[in-house]
Chain A
Amino acid sequence: MGLKTPLYDVHVSSGAKIIDFGGWDMPLSYRSQLDEHRAVRRDSGIFDVSHMCVVDLTGARVREFLRYVLANDVAKLTVPGAALYSCMLKPSGGVIDDLIVYFLTDAWFRMVVNAGTRGKDLKWLEEHAAPFGVPVRERKDLAILAVQGPRAREKTAALLSAAHQETALRIARFSGAAIDSWFLARTGYTGEDGFEIMLPAEEAATVWRSLVASGVTAAGLGARDTLRLEAGMNLYGSDMDESRNPLESGLAWTVAFEPKERDFIGRAALEQVRVQGCDEMVGLVLEERGVLRNHQPVFAGPPGQSPGLKIGEITSGTFSPTLNRAIALARVQRGAPARVQVEIRGQPHAARVVKPPFVRNGKALIQ
């Protein structure tokens, strides 16, 4: 018996296949995972992501604290509601977690961290926040619903009063706004437009049912994973962890080395990695039939010839419902050839190296 979100009973009564995810009993899929995936790409889907951990950080020095504890720079957040994706690093540069932080007021930021890393994240935050006089408060009273897809925003806004609808639909990409008891953010993990709604746990089931009644497809963690991988987004624990730094995880764009004088945890180690060089994250598209999976080895030899040197391995692989072929993220030595071989059940298979994302806003970006 794992932890349960406020929507657990709704999932079970909807016929969800329940799996353990980081200690939580979560819906893997309700009916067909492929149909759930396609519903998000074509119209809208709703995910329960209440297992994720919301943390409020407050105090006069909260911005200063976040500029120290995060690899991205919250100084970029100037408009209330604005969001930033960042890694939280060990001094070694290893990734403790990846997260989204929202700027609410000068004395209040909100962070959403992964469920599986909750304990160590809270401990790390508390330890480093104390000297800044920043209290760390987990918001267990909140549920999170992700409503994603080209029609997700209009369907979500339809639940609100006319005045609030206007506010909701004006929210800029990658930012949020407080609307009554909700915090509504235009963020997500699918590569589609949409909202993530943080709301009081006791309201979650009603909102869920209303959205499903308006034609939003209930979608589980299975579809969430294929959607995020098509969108080229990393999954903590698969694509990076404490033994890997952001520069070798396709996340260099989230590390703010400027301004030079900002000291953040992990900076010194990353400066060294930058000089020495490291592996890199690439996308792979399988040119043959089959499915790419995590940990399959990647070889530099041209397809059809000897596999040659092993240059890395797949960190996330799956079948892409949009491209109708297998795709993957792989960590490989820098300078990989344009075509490589992936070993699947002992047999070499031809794959093409591409730059993620594979799909955005319903459109394939890879031929």
Chain B
Amino acid sequence: MSENVPDDLQYTRTHEWIRDLGNGQVEIGITDHAQQALGDLVFVEVPQVGRELKAGEACAVVESVKAASDVYSPVSGSVAARNDALSDKPELLNSDPYGQGWLMRVARGSAPADGPFLKATEYAQFVKEAG
């Protein structure tokens, strides 16, 4: 199956994507590769707004019919928003992983920069090699 890896995002080796919103916040989700590997998603648990996250911390859970999987925050910061639409429509993660399937927005504040993250080409290569 072909997998979509948009050029304008950054990625982690644990299959999260990071979108810099330019206002000190980043938007976080799971990649097309991750949603394809998990299959039909039926339950998503995202952190409360205001929760302080540390980079690398398991902060959300996505469950498909067959398995539960942790999502790790790529950055440190405070949860500024979460995608509540996912509680009724977890399938948005399958149909639009980089858009309507976003998980949360994190305000990085004065936390030191995290990363470095993978560029689209690097992530595509990583997935290919792991595949």
Contacts and interface: CB of A to CB of B under 8 A. Distances in A.
Interface of A: 15, 17, 28-29, 32-34, 222, 226, 289-291, 293, 318-319, 321, 326, 345
B39 A291 contact: no
Given A34-B40, A34-B65, 12 more contacts: A32-B39, A32-B40, A33-B39, A33-B65, A222-B39, A226-B65, A289-B87, A291-B43, A291-B63, A293-B68, A318-B65, A319-B43
Interface string B52-75: 000000000101011010000000
Interface of B: 1, 39-40, 42-43, 45, 61, 63, 65-66, 68, 87, 94
Contacts of B43: 289-291, 319, 326
24 contacts: A15-B1, A28-B39, A28-B66, A29-B39, A32-B39, A32-B40, A33-B65, A34-B40, A34-B42, A34-B65, A222-B39, A222-B65, A222-B66, A289-B43, A289-B45, A289-B87, A290-B43, A290-B63, A291-B42, A291-B68, A293-B68, A319-B42, A319-B43, A345-B68
Q: Secondary structure of the A side of the interface?
A: mixed
A319 B63 contact: yes
Nearest to A290: B43
Contacts of A318: 65
Contacts of B42: 34, 291, 319
A318 B65 CA distance: 6
Contacts of A28: 39, 66
A140 to B, nearest CB: 30
A367 B77 CA distance: 43
Nearest to A344: B68
Contacts of B87: 289
In the A-B complex, list the 7 residue pairs whose CB atoms are closest, starting with the nearest. A319-B42, A34-B40, A291-B63, A291-B43, A33-B40, A319-B65, A33-B65
A192 B1 CA distance: 31
Contacts of B61: 345
Contacts of B1: 15
Contacts of B94: 32
B51 to A, nearest CB: 15
A32 B66 CA distance: 12
A33 B1 CA distance: 16
A326 B42 CA distance: 10
A326 B66 CA distance: 12
Nearest to B94: A32
Contacts of A29: 39
A29 B1 CA distance: 13
A226 B66 CA distance: 9
Nearest to A32: B40
B6 to A, nearest CB: 23
A104 B67 CA distance: 41
Nearest to A345: B61
Contacts of A290: 43, 45, 63
B30 to A, nearest CB: 17
